Structure 1
């Protein structure tokens, strides 16, 4: 009886599960498995969910949120949080429309200025937290409120102009709705971004330091 009890404690399901959950690779695999399960459930319950047109639309709608999530990973992995990413992302979208469609700036210049805006907002958050010793939650919450309020104001002010302007640019239209080998362009950008981020976090010294 005692030998059976010892064998049970040594090989019990609770012990096995506990050791399994301690594995480092379990942390990413659990949400990945849940995502696959939800996807399969939708595929079974929703008619024509797995058609090419449906999958392309899913990828196109998912890509932008995926880019935000990849960027947010840097804050989370370093032990912080950034509540302002949604507001900054929305303002970046408006700036792209305003600079390119209303001011008529060249597309490369527009992209560069929008990226610089996002970098500046990140530098403000990071500078206040790292050097001002402010709390990440409160700091990014305040930035969220300010940027979101500014976004609401400017979108109301320029709604008519933005609604009535035609881009007239095949490159602009391709970036928004184009496909490469059936894959939406923004999804390809997300894939490249994710691969580059993985390489940075696992092979480049500053990224490995963040992961550590």
Structure 2
């Protein structure tokens, strides 16, 4: 006698009890951010004829560069369950260090900028040590670094801008690939195509590199593991302190790079540069779907979030909205996205 046992079909891993999987929720958040970006583009294109032009597109891309580079670092830190409030001040310190290395020490510009980036890395190392070895809450550790870095930047410059850096110092921030310049009938040069700015190329390359690191490497899997459950990750053999420290070093290094790019664009180092930039960085990550409780986030989402903030600012400027009103609007956007993130986590 043969008995046939029928096994009920297994539940799909994507859905359990009608709930969305983490991956589906991430995609939903990312497409919501992308939808918001497209809506902003349509609205501002209708309200301003100059918005949808090549020159304004390049302007937006340049403005977004700083937000995106800082946001990439912020994303990695937030995924581990931390926060970095120091990037705006570290940006200023790295920029003035690079400028002083050129002006006071006569160093070549590439070496001076490398010193600026390493200054940011050092600040990241200190943040990492404070969080992992001294067990300080990330909020307090990076808040202290924010004050220290800004104070050092003001101290070493005497609270004055560092100018007279030469044209070569501005090459990184103001140069462009594939720029087309023609000579007009009047003998003056005309820019036929502004080219792709070097900072934009740098932003795209770094975004791709960090995205590959998070999605395709062991280190990337460890970063997500630490943010999801640090104790479980430790028991699984993950070096939790080392991984956490790496994310703060990456954030500091990207802040240093952003400082060098910004000061290069201005061809002047301002010790007061970068105020409140850390909030833009965190906002771009959260708008793109990075969860503030850790374990969830993507670079592509942060990239979209950066453009949402950049296009919102640019469009409001072109429509004559005051800077004070812009702060209110962007603050409301941040509150809304964090609220949506909290609702998603509760469900």
Q: TM-score under structure 1 normalisation?
A: 0.81
The aligned counterpart of 2:166 is 167
SS in 1 for 2:26: coil
The aligned counterpart of 1:87 is 89
Distance 1:20 1:79, change over 3 A: closer
In the TM superposition, what is the alpha-carbon distance from 1:174 to its structure 2 partner?
Answer: 2.5
Distance 1:204 1:52, change over 3 A: same
The aligned counterpart of 1:4 is none
**RCO greater where, 1 or 2, for CA within 8 Å and sep 6 or more?**
2
Could you list the runs of 5+ residues in structure 2 that have no partner in the other structure?
1-16, 179-194, 226-347
Q: TM-score under structure 2 normalisation?
A: 0.51
Distance 1:201 1:20, change over 3 A: closer
Separation in structure 2 between the aligned mates of residue 36 and residue 156 of structure 1, nearest angstrom: 45
Q: 1:58-97 counterparts in 2 under 5 A?
A: 58-97=60-99
1:160-196 residue CA offsets vs partner (Å, 9 max, x unmatched): xx23x14142xx3331111113211101000000000
The aligned counterpart of 1:11 is none
The aligned counterpart of 2:121 is 119
Alpha-carbon contact 1:56-1:183 (below 8 Å) kept: yes
1:183 paired residue among 196, 205, 211? 196
1:123-181 residue CA offsets vs partner (Å, 9 max, x unmatched): 1011111111110001111111111222233444443xx23x14142xx3331111113
Q: Which has the higher helix share?
A: 1
The aligned counterpart of 2:297 is none
Alpha-carbon contact 1:20-1:26 (below 8 Å) kept: no
Distance 1:20 1:43, change over 3 A: farther
Distance 1:28 1:105, change over 3 A: same
In the TM superposition, what is the alpha-carbon distance from 1:20 to its structure 2 partner?
Answer: 8.6
1:208 paired residue among 215, 221, 228? 221
The aligned counterpart of 2:3 is none
Distance 1:43 1:129, change over 3 A: same
The aligned counterpart of 1:199 is 212
Alpha-carbon contact 1:201-1:208 (below 8 Å) kept: yes
Q: 1:101-140 counterparts in 2 under 5 A?
A: 101-140=103-142
Alpha-carbon contact 2:102-2:165 (below 8 Å) kept: no
Could you list the runs of 5+ residues in structure 1 that have no partner in the other structure?
1-14
Higher mean C-alpha displacement, 18-27 vs 93-102: 18-27
Higher mean C-alpha displacement, 139-148 vs 101-110: 101-110
Separation in structure 1 between the aligned mates of residue 47 and residue 87 of structure 2, nearest angstrom: 33
Separation in structure 2 between the aligned mates of residue 192 and residue 88 of structure 1, nearest angstrom: 22
In the TM superposition, what is the alpha-carbon distance from 1:86 to its structure 2 partner?
Answer: 0.9
Alpha-carbon contact 1:68-1:85 (below 8 Å) kept: yes
The aligned counterpart of 1:152 is 154
